[in-house]
Amino acid sequence: MNRFQYARPETVGEAVALLEEHGDDARLLAGGTDLVIELRNRWVEPKVVIDLKRIPDLAPAIVERDGFLSISASTVMTDIAEDERVQRYFPALVESAVVVGSVQIRARATMAGNICNGSPAADTAPPLLVYDAVVVVAGSDGERRVPIDDFIVGPGKTALQRGELVTAIELPIPERPYGAAYTRLTRRRGTDLASITLCAGVDADGQARIAYGSVGPRAFLVEDESGILGDSTIPSEDKIDSLDQIFYRASPSLKSLRASPDYRLAMLRVLGARALETAIGRLTKELVS
Amino acid sequence: MNAVGSSPRRGGGYGRVTGHQEYLADIKLPDALHVKLVTLECARARINAIDSTEAEQVPGVHFVMTAADLPDPMPRFGPQFQDRPVIAVGETKYHGEPVAAVAAETKDAAEEAALLVKVDYTKLEDGIFSVADALAPDAVLVQDPALRGASSFAQTNIIDEKHFGWGDIDDQEAHLVVEDSFQFPMVTHFAIEPHGFMAAPDGDGIEVWSTIQHPYLLQKIMAKMLDLPLSKVRVHAPDPGGGFGGKQIPKFEPLVAFMALRAGRPVRLVLSLDETFQQVRRSSAEIRVRAGFTAEGVFTFMDIETNFLVGAYVDIADRVVSKSSYSGAGPYRIPAVKIIGRTILSHTTPSTAFRGFGIPQIGWARESLIDEAALQLGIDRLQIRLLNLARYKEPFIPSEEADGDWEQTVRTAAKRIGWGDPLPPNRGRGIAVGLKSGPTTGLSYSTVRLLYDGSAMVYAGTSDMGQGARTIFAQITAEELGVPLDDITVVMGDTSVVPYDQQTSASRSSVLMGTAVQRACFEIQGKVRAMAAKLYNVDEGDIKVDQGRLLLPDREFSVVDVMQEALAPLGGEVIGNGEMRKDKEPDHPLGGTAAFFEFNCTASEVEVDMETGHVTLVKHVTVGDVGKALNPLQVTMQDDGAAIMGLGHTLMEHYIFDNEGRVRNIGAIDYRILTSMDLPLDLHSESVENADGPGPYGIKGVSEGSLLVTAPAVGAAVREATGKIIRDLPLTPQRVWEALQEDENGS
């Protein structure tokens, strides 16, 4: 790797100031599971690496307040997946967190980093979209809250401006029963990058939404306008047309090594139907209890 | 002492799992320069000029080595043909072939400078990336015909064409003739330890460190290349972290040696995993098989034609082709056989030896075709194999006979998989048999020293790359001399200390080096017996030796006690030497009969997700005829490991090229091997032991058997579950799904 300056700010303000100063020449370090590979392979050659791990305000924490579960920027996947409140309210997020990388990666990788890295295949993106997560962004003008759907822009791109960083991701705790499920398509069962990431959510009224990634420049969230996808009384085979409507934004790459476009499009349907079934099952269980 | 047949703690195992083992990359030579290779972003290119001015200005850079700095004509080397240059000269022939090498004080400086070496090159069109490309009438020649000597194929991309067989296949009647073509992909060894090379001037000679499996072959090649006597070339070969055949043959040792001589100090080149992917692989193959059967399913003939696509340099690939083709018809009784195997050059990574040595390719085709015949004849797939299988001692190739009770092996595998039991929905089973020739020649020497305190040192030139050779040799010594296993040190990996061994390959070491070690122990037994005869005034002929005990007519002693009494008061030691030689047989088609056969039956049960094409391995059984399991746990681990490796090329592994011959899925991200999560839910390896092998205690070689026919066993199971025949590997979810989309007409 190339030489770079290493900065270890102790406040969010100091980090923001460094970002303001260095702009694109700076890279943030939290878990480092993407950054270190990029440095080693010389894919990025920053002048400054800003380590966020010594900032008390960003220390690993999952706190409940004002109807939100707030996950700080340096909280790692393992801790998110093991948190009892996340498990209770956001099971699909747990399902996505436990398949990121390997055991070792999950003990290091942060969810904020997963989103900020901007990979179209980011595992946590679809559940965060389905759960209407909000990204808390700090900048020199203070804090702003950005809905996750607006935060995710495209490959490697987010809504972050020069001098901004993510301090937390907030998830609204559902007030009514909600069922959601995450699933993915991979080439093998062990550690793998997903060819499809997909999360289905169904609310107490039977309204469904599906978020899916790795089949276009970013993960997309699409509401079911037909109103039938969340209906547990309608058999899966009668939902195919509605599912196809959901996946209208999919445009899988022809060049991908991982799966052909035809296969991915066909698997979107399969995974969509399976995730919906699980989501409806979870909703039903919540409604009963 | 019953060391043989037990499974003691593995020699070196603790170091391996705790990170204490010193691999090549862990050896820090003081003052070493770091080397980084410069490669091009294409397979085939003409090198016009190399400008290293800017690179040499990077602080810490000493020099950049190119073909211009090496002798003219470029020195070339190889185990079969002297075709591999020390560094690319004039033209690159595969993606990843180095055109220059930077030597610098640090790895970072070398890497930075490597990016600054300016190579003026012209990408050459019409590179050869497939069998069809290579055999096209207007194909460019991968190798200069001037390098090809008197070969009648010199003006083609064919290195050689092997013809084997017996009987007349055109003279055979058949109730049913089946014919099909199959493909086997390029795959890489994926040893966890990447290849590494170091060299240092050593007085008027040279020292070389390498992850090599064959240190004595490397010594010979270095001596020839540098015009040095063998005694001036010292090769250090620390235990490799996995080899699988990929580390048999020298690669960049000559390059680092020339660089060390130029620098006057040590140099070190440790490849990354990604770089290793570009240097070693298994040959891909296109295999056409045609076979005739009677209505009852008895073979009347078999006709096999295999086009092996090897790389830009032959390495040991031509031997892979001849050896695998020779026994390509398998362990069956077939009246007429015709086999053609072609070694075909291409502008791709040079293929080399790889566990199974060509057999998995041909086995995939042959066993799959037998299934197609069984289906058409309405005969059970197990029965058709049993019907044709050569029985014990029966010749199945004119000069080779069945060296084991192969029927017992097949029946055991069938029983373990539950052959014939009812299957749940979406499930299928497959069974396949495979056989591989062991070594056809061999030469191993060992020295054993029984030290005065009753401990022992064993010198063996085998490379222990994880297969457990250290443990095996210690067990043999413990068995013969009565020395506790923990008091035995096995010395390997230094040609200036350890006597010659031909090579570590073909599952040979337990049988061949094991015999040399045992003979060295016998020599010690003989010397100690002579001591006992003198001490106790008994005729030598009246003293028997058994498991480290000397049995006199009226009493017995341990070998160690007699040695100590005889050598007191000065102390000292008793030294034994052993030699195992399997000479060439000039009239044999392969230059020698196989020392033994690795015979294996693999049976698999899978469940297929009919919507996604994902294959779940419900149960996977491999049974091998091992003669005797000298160390049962190590045999199981070799069999489990080989089966898992075979499942890799069966289900997910393959190189993906772009149209310029670049490997697109270099490295661990997009070249997938099985993880623990992908293993069979139930993996069962078992041995048939009739103590009928040529090695000590009746052992045969072990370690390749259970990947020989992994693919056809799993493929057959997928066929039964889906009703679809797939003739190309790997059986990725997408490929299985695509097969499931085909209608009955196959479109």
- pLDDT band at B744; cut points 50, 70, 90: low
The whole-number average pLDDT for the span B282-299 is 98
**Band of residue A236 on the pLDDT scale cut at 50, 70, 90:** confident
Q: Distance (Å) from the C-alpha of residue B618 to the closest C-alpha of chain A?
A: 14
Residue-wise pLDDT for B636-682, tens only, equals 999 999 999 999 999 999 999 998 999 999 999 899 999 999 999 99
Residues 6 or more apart whose CB falls under 8 angstroms from that of B141 comprise: B155, B156, B157
Residue B747 pLDDT: 47
Give B 656-675 residues with CB within 8 A of chain A: 656, 664-665, 669-670, 672, 674-675
Last residue of a domain, which of A144, A172, A200? A172
Task: Give yes or no: residues A89 and A145 share one domain.
Answer: yes
B727: tokens are 């003739």
Indicate the angle between helix axes B733-741 and A261-288, nearest 10 degrees.
Answer: 100
Structure confidence by residue, pLDDT tens digits, B211-231: 999 999 999 999 999 999 999
List all residues of chain A from 255 to 274 with a beta carbon under 8 Å from chain B.
257-260, 263, 266-267, 270
Give pLDDT, residue B331: 98
Nearest CB to A193; choose among B612, B669, B732: B669
- Residues B273 and B156: their CA atoms lie apart, in Å, by 33
B611 interfaces chain A, CB cutoff of 8 Å? yes
Chain B residues with CB-CB distance to A1 below 8 A: 108
Contact A263 B738 (CB under 8 A): yes
Judged by a CB distance cut-off of 8 A, whether residue A40 touches chain B is no
Q: Rounded mean pLDDT of chain A?
A: 96
Give B270 to chain A, closest Cα distance, Å. Answer: 16
Chain A 177-196, CB below 8 Å of chain B: which residues?
A: 185, 187-193
Q: Which residues of B touch A191 (CB under 8 A)?
A: 675, 677
CA distance A264 to chain B (A): 9
Which residue in the set A1, A42, A188 is minimally distant from B652, CB to CB?
Answer: A188
Question: Cβ separation of A190 and B677 shorter than 8 Å?
Answer: yes
Q: Do residues A45 and A84 both lie within one domain?
A: no
In B264-358, alpha helices (H): 273-277, 317-326
A253: chain B residues, CB-CB within 8 Å: none
Locate the chain B residue with the closest alpha carbon to A185: B612
- Set of chain B residues whose Cβ sits within 8 Å of the Cβ of A190: 674-678
Residues of A in contact with B651 (CB under 8 A): 188
Q: Are A263 and B674 a contacting pair at CB < 8 A?
A: no
pTM: 0.97
pLDDT tens digits, one per residue of B29-43: 999 999 999 999 999
Determine the Cα–Cα distance for residues B529 and B393; give it in Å rounded to an integer: 38
Is residue A219 pLDDT above 90, yes or no? yes
Question: Is there a contact between A187 and B112 if contact means CB atoms under 8 Å apart?
Answer: no
Q: Does A1 touch chain B (CB under 8 A)?
A: yes
Of A172, A201, A229, the last residue of a domain is A172
> What's the average model confidence in pLDDT over B401-428?
98
What are B442-498's pLDDT values in tens digits?
999 999 999 999 999 999 999 999 999 999 999 999 999 999 999 999 999 999 999
Contact B612/A at CB under 8 A: yes
Quick check: A189 and B669 CB within 8 A? Answer: no
* Inter-chain residue contact A1 with B108, CB threshold 8 Å: yes
pLDDT for res B746: 52
CB contact under 8 A, A189 and B677: yes
Residue B369: the pLDDT is 98
Domain spanning B442-582 has what CATH number? Answer: 3.30.365.10
Question: Are residues A263 and B664, on separate chains, in Cβ contact within 8 Å?
Answer: no
Average pLDDT score over residue span B683-692: 98
Mutation target for B interface from A4, A105, A187, A195: give the one with most B CBs within 10 A: A187
Top CATH class of B284-439+589-741 equals alpha beta
- What residue segments make up the domains of chain B, in order of their start? 31-125+195-270, 284-439+589-741, 442-582
> What confidence category does residue A237 fall into, taking pLDDT thresholds of 50, 70 and 90?
confident
pLDDT tens, position by position, B489-524: 999 999 999 999 999 999 999 999 999 999 999 999
Owning domain of residue A225: 178-288
**What's the rounded Cα separation, in Å, for the pair A49 and A207?**
44
Compute the count of residue pairs across chains A and B with CB atoms less than 8 Å apart.
44
Pair A11, A43 in one domain: yes
Q: Please name the residue of chain A whose CA is at the shortest distance from the CA of residue B274.
A: A41
Mean pLDDT of A63-86: 97
Decide if domain B31-125+195-270 falls under CATH 3.90.1170.50: yes
B665·A257 Cβ contact <8 A? yes
E-strand ranges in B514-660 read 544-546, 549-551, 556-558, 573-582, 597-608, 615-625
Of B651, B675, B734, the CB nearest to A260: B734
Which residue, among A263, A269, A274, A277, would best test binding to B if mutated, counting the most B CBs under 10 Å from its CB? A263
- What confidence score (pLDDT) does residue B249 get? 98
Closest-CA residue in chain B for A259?
Answer: B734
In the prediction, which pLDDT does B528 show?
98
| Assembly ipTM | 0.95
- Percent of chain A topping pLDDT 70: 100
Closest CA to B85 of B200, B316, B254, B269: B254
Residues A192 and A271 in one domain: yes
Mean pLDDT computed over B56-67: 98
Residues A257, B112: C-beta atoms closer than 8 Å: no
| Chain B residue nearest residue A270, CA to CA | B611
Please give the tally of structural domains in chain A.
Answer: 3
Note the pLDDT of residue A57.
Answer: 95
Percent of chain B with pLDDT over 90: 97
Alpha helices, DSSP H only, in B26-150? 53-56, 107-116, 131-135
How large is the average pLDDT for residues A150-170? 97
Q: Quick check: A189 and B675 CB within 8 A?
A: yes
**Closest-CA distance of chain A to residue B668, Å:** 10
Give the containing element (helix H, strand E) for B374.
Answer: helix B359-377
Q: Mutate which of B111, B672, B678, B679 to test chain A, going by most A C-beta atoms within 10 A?
A: B672
User: Hey, which residues 96-125 in chain B have their CB within 8 Å of chain A?
Assistant: 108, 111-112, 115
DSSP B508: -
Nearest CA distance, A1 vs chain B (angstrom): 6
Given A141, A172, A203, the domain boundary residue is A172
The domain that holds A249 is classified in CATH as 3.30.390.50
Q: Closest to B732 (Cβ–Cβ): which among A187, A190, A266?
A: A187
CB atoms B612 and A185 under 8 Å: yes
CATH number, domain at A69?
Answer: 3.30.465.10
CA dist., res. B663 & res. B40, Å (int) = 12
CA distance B110 to chain A (A): 11
Which residues in chain B have Cβ-Cβ distances shorter than 8 Å to A258? 670
Q: How many Å apart are CA B299 and CA B291, to the nearest integer?
A: 7
Q: Which residue of B has its CA nearest to A193?
A: B669
- Three state DSSP letters for chain A: CCCCEEECCCCHHHHHHHHHHHHHHEEEECCCCCHHHHHHCCCCCCCEEEECCCCHHHCCCEEEECCEEEEECCCEHHHHHHCHHHHHHCHHHHHHHCCCCCHHHHCCCEHHHHHHCCCCCCCCHHHHHHCCCEEEEEECCEEEEEEHHHHEEECCEECCCCCCEEEEEEEECCCCCEEEEEEEECCCCCCCCCCEEEEEEEECCCCEEEEEECCCCCCEEEECCCCCCCCCCCCHHHHHHHHHHHHHHCCCCCCCCCCCHHHHHHHHHHHHHHHHHHHHHHHHHHHHC
CB contact under 8 A, B734 and A1: no
Is residue B745 over pLDDT 60?
no
